[in-house]
Structure 1
Amino acid sequence: MFPVLPVTSVSGLIETADVVSGSVGRVLVSLSGDQIKDTLPIVRSVSEKFVDISVLLTGDASTDELISLLDAGVEYLVVSEPVVADLIESGVPGSRLVINISEKAGEFLESIASDSSQLDSNLNIGFYIGSFGISKHQSLVAAGQAIAKTVLATTGGARFLLVSDPSFVSSSNAIAPAIPVVEAHYLSTETTGNGTLSIASFITNRLVSDRVDGLYTTLVVDAYDNSLGLVYSSEESISEAVRTGKGVYQSRKRGLWYKGQTSGAEQTLLRIDVDCDGDCVKFVVDQTAPGFCHNNTSTCFGQYSGISALEQTLISRKKNAPEGSYTARLFNDSKLLTAKIMEEAEELCDAKTANEISWEAADLIYFAMTKLVQEGVSWNSVQRNLDLKSRKISRRKGDAKRKWQAKLEEKEQDANKSRDDARQDKKPKNADQTSSTVTTNGTEQPQIKMNVVTVTPETSETEIAKVLTRPLQKSADIMKLVTPIINNVRDNGDKALIELTEKFDRVKLQSPVLYAPFPENLMQISEEVKAAIDLSISNIEKFHAAQINKDEVLHVETAPGVICSRFSRAIESVGLYVPGGTAVLPSTAMMLGIPAKVAGCKNIILASPPRSDGTLTPEVVYVAHKVGAKAILLAGGAQAVAALAYGTESVPKVDKIMGPGNQFVTAAKMFVQNDTSAQVSIDMPAGPSEVLVIADGTSNPAFVASDLLSQAEHGVDSQVILIAISMTDDQLAAVETEVHEQAMRLPRVDIVRGSIAHSTTIRVDSIERAMQLSNQYGPEHLILQVHEASRLLPLVEHAGSVFVGAWSPESCGDYSSGTNHTLPTYGYAKMYSGVNTDTFMKHITSQELTEQGLKNIGPAVMALAATEGLDGHRNAVKVRLESLGAL
């Protein structure tokens, strides 16, 4: 039972929700019909914060609009009796509705008092009386008592009564068991004063105690409704709990007990509820480690079990998991975790017996919970969303997406084929068939092997296109997740950045920006790594500096007296996105920062997510120092891109954003580039990493395999292609053996398996055909491991970067050779360059005409302007020619 229900307007909803989130946890919003559409996003957002919203309709609204409120998570609708009838007819359960009887309260009370049987006992509908509905001869208290004795008692308390009256401003007397509705601005978490009412007083006025000491029995539960323990409360402790938003109780020996004040096991108060008889109070809290009990257990009844125990364990592992452990791998490798979730979901679908289903469901929940902890999402948030979904009235058809229906049909076809094959007589394997398993270190393992396709003159273009198709990217689904994040940062600035960093990276920052000069203690790296960075910076700077000559201005006299020029200027402010968090990526900071420095960009702003302790990777800070960055934004993902694009109180707005990232970063870059209010550009679209290797019979199989695996380990959505020119079966088998054996020695072997599964070896009979297929694919990385490889460069039409010969592994381009590793992927190499010095520059043209020059081209300009109907353009030339006497 709610002790009090604050009522507010739409504009005050968020502020009121913040106040009640650590006390009663419920809000009544006064809302007109024309406000519903704009209010839905606010309702959804606030409802996710453990605050239940009800709506008091103050005007007309359609049934569909009201149902949309319930779908958004609204707990109760307070509407007139005719509207209730319409909603029930539309399928809305009566338990979600409250009848507003304000205009005829007196009449209603009299009729119910005389004959309570007229109530439909099958509809658990509540009632609401506004202040203007109390008749002259009845006080508010009398009205409440009358309905309490009739309406509520008739259905055993299933119904409830909401009563609103200004008299509450001067009196905090509650009407048990009716629920007082009070305007939010009269309520305070402090004690009564200055014309306000204490929320705590409404709670204590509903409580009764049969104890000699007058204390109230108090059940303490966590957000999952796990019982933590039994304690006692007093009016003073409840008042202090509401005031502080913490777990505060009454010790029978020591007075006020601030839970966790000495042990550190504090509680954040989420809600206080009173039971139906008013003799027990329930505190809903967020309990910090090590737990509630003085014995350092989660509860006074022992340790957590099930979901709660799993969540606590994973949170601890995220902070303290030993390097190289499997859980650490899952937290550090999002693509591996995604692959495991998909794998376990499929295994659950395939499970048959009860034990198998239980086992596979537990596996799936484990990996799903790891994903939640990795992203800073609590199980409480999941349960809250389940509760909100259960409130939806509208129901969709619920069919699976075509993609998954097709996958199921494909599995069924494969199963049918397997059964058909089993019915056939078994035949011995052909001598040239490759075993599906190999023995590695004495253990038989499924072979990691690419698909093999032979391209002949008869192979159709459709078949070739299918082979070269990349893994599907779900850009539309990703954008649905990214857009709210971008809007939040754009509208709320630093506050949103800090909240999102805490949510996604589990780091509470005081400021989202680190300004130059950067402290020495944040750049503590070994001399070996520093020397490697310095060497790489030198090479990258040499190559990128050679790409421009800023002092040279292009002059062309296109006609006598007509001089056209072009000159270059650096883009003033640039944002460089460096993926990070648990990863160490100084290479990306170099690849973006050095060209920006060479180009002469005045404001270089890096963005990289902080580590778990709130600091940045020291190697990245060192590179930022070396390139002269003005600041580093301690954020990642879509929120970092949004901050760079729109600027915040502390983050300078930039003119262009560069750098690689996951699918959320890419989607955010595409979004802000298309938003004219952002006025920002990006370097290029991006997709998963990829490599195409062209090899022949002279290639070293170990070298070929290592180049393929260097990209396959990036993620399960990465793709590697090998084009084998006139290679024999034995030569190709040697490459396949190396792929498997080298992959099995890699710590990311599970990712490699996923990547190799949609990668292909294409056998062709000529260099010309190989280069044609390569250009058709347009790879991010093109590796030429053939005899006299440099002779193929003239045939390269589309590629991000080319690695020529056996001694040019792709890794060198990623770090130290001098070229840039920020390259177009997913086929964008056909129209985009990789990052280079020009990426950070713009080119401005100018023209200067003499009198003779205008005479030479003026008539042509006038003729074309007249053709297009632009008389102003024509006149600008005409008046000048007339002044020269040329017309």
Structure 2
Amino acid sequence: MAAAPLIPAYDFVAPPATGLSIQSISHLSWIFLSVTAENYDQSLEFIPQNFSRFQFLVDVSTLGSDATQIKQLLNVGASKVITSLKQLESLRDPKLQIEDDRLILAIPRGDNYTREEFENAIRDTSLGVFVPDVADVGSVTGWLEEYGTDNRPPVYISFKSKPVLEEVIDLVKVNASVIIDSRELTADSKKEDGLLNVGTIYANALKSDRTDGLFTTLVVDEQGVALGLVYSSKESISESLKTGSGVYQSRKRGLWYKGATSGATQELVRIDTDCDGDCLRFTVRQKGKGFCHLETRTCFGSSTGIGALQATLQSRFASAPEGSYTARLFNDPKLLRAKIMEEAEELCDATSKDDVAWEAADLIYFALTKCVSAGVSIADIEKNLDAKSLKVVRRKGDAKDKWANGQKPQEVAAAAPPPPAPSKPIEVPVQKETESDRIQMTRYSSAALSSNELEAILKRPSQKSSETIMGIVNPIIKAVREEGDKALLGYTQKFDRCPDLKSTVLKAPYPESLMTLTPEVKAAIDLSYENILKFHAAQKEAKPLVVETMPGVQCSRFARPIERVGLYIPGGTAVLPSTALMLGVPAVVAGCKTIVFASPPRPDGSITPEIVYIAHKVGAEAIVLAGGAQAVAALAYGTQSVPKVDKILGPGNQFVTAAKMVVSNDTGATVSIDMPAGPSEVLVIADKTANPAFVASDLLSQAEHGIDSQVVLLAVDLSDDELQAIDEELHKQAMALPRVDIVRGAIAHSVTVVVDTIDKAFEVSNLYAPEHLILQIADAKACVEKVQNAGSVFIGAWTPESVGDYSAGVNHSLPTYGYAKQYSGVNLATYVKHITSSELTADGLRSLGTAVMDLAAVEGLDAHRMAVKIRLDHMAKSS
């Protein structure tokens, strides 16, 4: 909120009929108001009504010491308030939470200021200083020159008598902000002779190091998007303020009235300067085809992002093509309302960075359609955001009951809109700081639930509809399949926000500089590598299976590695080198010839050194710097630089899972996958022997993965006090975690189910089929035989799930979302295929041949029958 060199003072109770109009004042950004006990109520109406036009400098130094009144002025939109020393002391109470940069100290009014008083006032560099009713302008100017203009707080000067132009110019040249009654100012000296010209004052506050004396001028729209770079002169500034339009200085043609010949005119919104006073910024409303002579909106090309969307929607609103979807939205408010509610729910349910960005874009599209239909622009929205940012009255911020109680948007879509806000702001008491809402799982008793109710309680968090996901995934897969590297790079730059990325593939051998690790991390990786290697090597088949099914008929089965595997390593809310280990080490043990990693890059286009180091250890041929459906497609089909693979393994978000399913069903890809996978989950069975702190820590170790994760506690015959002890530990431990917000989201749909017996606990667990099953019960090892469905089991108090995630040796890539009923976790067999063989002697074929021919005849496959008959006939002739 840098102050302008000139701030007009305005009488908002009795607006003047002469001098600078309020419209012209708005071009200067700032306006000065003097608020007293008599006009306080009117100020509370004037400020919010005009917030979109001004930044308000409000003098409250004569209002009194009531901090509540001053705070309310700040709350309704005053940018800065000028206070007395006594007021300042009360406003700086930490409980009021008022930032110093919104406070200005007024030097007591009087005819004589000493240099000591002045310097004492500006010594506190966190505040600005107001010097009112200056009579001796020369002395104040001299003090400012001696004190210096750099690294000091802003100084605001008002005049005791009618200001003289030369004195005003002297002040603005030493970086003072002058406050002048609007009655004494004009934007057009020819019409109002004898008043001070605002353009002249403003221009003299600027600095230029150019030989022609021109000022560099950045022209932007109301969203701050740069339209172009031009130059201004003292004359063009005055002309622009007089006409309220974009007027600049052409270095070849003199004054340049923008759009005078092309029709691409500009309505001036405001003028301000940069911090050094050597660059102007003109904020304008661009008319016509655009700012640039090439008829684009900007000199830097066409608009993008939200600004471009607004322009398109405004165009559609004016003349939408018949049958267009946007036109339908404009003409069907009920449909538009439903879409906004739908997209809001999908955004709330989104978890990964890609999902959230995608759903937010959808919501913004429909929300902006609503705005355009109501004549609301992005600038209007931003002004309201600015107004909210100035509020200092703290509200609790709880959701309304219809949302807080868990109703879905469709259940409240017909609800009436809230009543309009009163025109006069209402003071809301500052809410006392309260403890954060407790992080606590909902508790149920299985004895009070029917089977259907129990299944409903254990339902995983809802995922996006397959139609929604496929509508996103299929075009991505198609583009990568057809365009290869070009599409892959484009999607990676977009979704992973790496605009400077030039290549999506890092080839082996990898530079040492990309594998810089601390000794501790390197040792941890090496230890985990060896344990995972040892466990998976033990799964190797010692020799082929050979069985003689009958005399002369020998059948065998032998394993061969899948030659080319693509290993997907997520990189959304957490970096997962552990997944690189879990997927890469078994591939080495199996003997896969080609190993390719794929993992989203960081914003600077690099990959985490831990993953590079593991890729080096397992001999990965390449690392694909990409995530999401685009990475899956690149692995499945291959691109100019990404090797095609035969199988894709690894967990991911809903889009990764959907993409894996799509490519595995495409005969053109000839690729398989490990398993479907959803968000991470854990189920803990705990009895009276369990340590509450251990139980809570195991639940939280999965809840921190993502807000769509779910954790379940099956409490075997625990009392209320024992359950409360776990709840207390859960909340205490969660509040100490850096990912507490993610934990809070996961716990919101997690449950505790109290069961009477161990057998009932395993019945419920097998129904749920958890990814991770933790047994914190007496004689846990003996109970493993009760496990029917689970990805991986962790037995006893000293076996947290995290040892399986990292270093014990078992694999952590496991079936989720109930797929443990059908799928195994990743193991050595995941990386091999089994080939069978048959070998018959002549006697064996004689024994088996008749049965084969009879069955072939039943099926009508005569060539099958003849293949046996010809051989049997040959034997008969030979004998």
| Pair 1:460-2:413 in alignment | no
Segments of structure 1 that go 5 or more residues without pairing to the other structure are: 1-217, 234-248, 256-273, 284-290, 309-314, 316-348, 350-360, 392-403, 416-441
The AA in structure 2 aligned to 1:252 is R
8 A contact 1:692–1:781 mirrored in 2? yes
Q: How many residues align?
A: 537
8 A contact 2:772–2:794 mirrored in 1? yes
- 2:519 aligned partner: 527
- 2:172 aligned partner: none
Q: Which moved more, 1:581-590 or 1:640-649?
A: 581-590
- 1:677 aligned partner: 668
Q: CA deviation at 1:582?
A: 7.1
| Pair 1:585-2:576 in alignment | yes
Q: CA deviation at 1:302?
A: 10
The AA in structure 2 aligned to 1:841 is V
Which of the pair has more CA radius of gyration?
A: 2
Deviations 1:477-535 (A, max 9, x none): 12211111111111111111111111112223222111111110000010110000000
Secondary structure class of the residue paired with 1:611: coil
| Pair 1:763-2:754 in alignment | yes
- 2:828 aligned partner: 837
RMSD: 4.4
Deviations 1:306-356 (A, max 9, x none): xx9xxxxxx9xxxxxxxxxxxxxxxxxxxxxxxxxxxxxxxxx9xxxxxxx
Alpha-carbon spacing, 1:536–1:367, altered in 2? closer, same or farther (3 Å): closer
Distance 2:661 2:674 in 1: 10
Q: CA deviation at 1:366?
A: 14
| Pair 1:471-2:461 in alignment | yes
Partner of residue 599 from structure 1, selected from 567, 575, 590: 590
Distance 1:500 1:373 in 2: 14
Distance 1:623 1:298 in 2: 53
Deviations 1:612-644 (A, max 9, x none): 221110000000000010111011111111100
Partner of residue 482 from structure 1, selected from 473, 487, 494: 473
Secondary structure class of the residue paired with 1:446: coil
Distance 2:747 2:458 in 1: 14
Q: CA deviation at 1:567?
A: 0.5
Partner of residue 871 from structure 1, selected from 855, 858, 862: 862
Distance 2:349 2:858 in 1: 67
Partner of residue 548 from structure 2, selected from 557, 564, 576: 557
The AA in structure 2 aligned to 1:696 is D
Q: CA deviation at 1:584?
A: 2.4
Segments of structure 2 that go 5 or more residues without pairing to the other structure are: 1-216, 233-247, 267-272, 287-297, 299-304, 306-336, 338-342, 374-404, 417-432
Distance 1:613 1:785 in 2: 44
Distance 1:554 1:795 in 2: 30
Secondary structure class of the residue paired with 1:711: helix
Q: CA deviation at 1:380?
A: 14
8 A contact 2:704–2:743 mirrored in 1? yes
Partner of residue 780 from structure 1, selected from 771, 779, 791: 771
The AA in structure 2 aligned to 1:514 is L
Secondary structure class of the residue paired with 1:885: helix
Q: Which moved more, 1:508-517 or 1:650-659?
A: 508-517
Distance 1:600 1:487 in 2: 32
Distance 1:872 1:885 in 2: 20
8 A contact 2:647–2:672 mirrored in 1? yes
Distance 2:543 2:562 in 1: 17
Partner of residue 530 from structure 2, selected from 512, 522, 538: 538
Alpha-carbon spacing, 1:716–1:380, altered in 2? closer, same or farther (3 Å): closer
8 A contact 2:529–2:581 mirrored in 1? yes
Secondary structure class of the residue paired with 1:734: helix
Q: CA deviation at 1:785?
A: 0.3
8 A contact 2:496–2:602 mirrored in 1? yes
Secondary structure class of the residue paired with 2:596: strand
Alignment of 1:228-377 (within 5 A): 228=227, 231=230, 252=251, 278-279=261-262, 299-301=281-283, 375=357
- Aligned-pair identity in percent equals 60
Distance 1:497 1:303 in 2: 38
Distance 1:716 1:736 in 2: 19
Q: CA deviation at 1:299?
A: 3.7
Deviations 1:440-466 (A, max 9, x none): xx953332221222123x742212211
Q: CA deviation at 1:367?
A: 14
| Pair 1:511-2:511 in alignment | no
8 A contact 1:568–1:844 mirrored in 2? yes
| Pair 1:611-2:611 in alignment | no
Distance 2:363 2:781 in 1: 57
8 A contact 1:297–1:303 mirrored in 2? no
8 A contact 1:780–1:825 mirrored in 2? yes
8 A contact 1:781–1:802 mirrored in 2? yes
The AA in structure 2 aligned to 1:615 is S
8 A contact 1:376–1:505 mirrored in 2? no
Partner of residue 849 from structure 1, selected from 814, 832, 840: 840
| Pair 1:444-2:429 in alignment | no
8 A contact 1:498–1:511 mirrored in 2? yes
8 A contact 1:813–1:820 mirrored in 2? yes
- 1:330 aligned partner: none
Secondary structure class of the residue paired with 1:833: coil
Deviations 1:770-797 (A, max 9, x none): 1111111100000000011000111111
- 1:116 aligned partner: none
The AA in structure 2 aligned to 1:562 is V
Alpha-carbon spacing, 1:515–1:576, altered in 2? closer, same or farther (3 Å): same
The AA in structure 2 aligned to 1:619 is E
8 A contact 1:292–1:300 mirrored in 2? no
Structure 1 length as normaliser, TM-score? Answer: 0.55
8 A contact 2:220–2:228 mirrored in 1? yes
8 A contact 2:219–2:282 mirrored in 1? no
- 1:429 aligned partner: none
Alpha-carbon spacing, 1:659–1:882, altered in 2? closer, same or farther (3 Å): same
Distance 2:413 2:249 in 1: 63
Secondary structure class of the residue paired with 2:435: strand
Alpha-carbon spacing, 1:487–1:365, altered in 2? closer, same or farther (3 Å): closer
- 1:547 aligned partner: 539
Structure 2 length as normaliser, TM-score? Answer: 0.55
Distance 2:692 2:366 in 1: 54
8 A contact 1:539–1:817 mirrored in 2? yes
Alpha-carbon spacing, 1:293–1:651, altered in 2? closer, same or farther (3 Å): farther
Secondary structure class of the residue paired with 1:714: coil
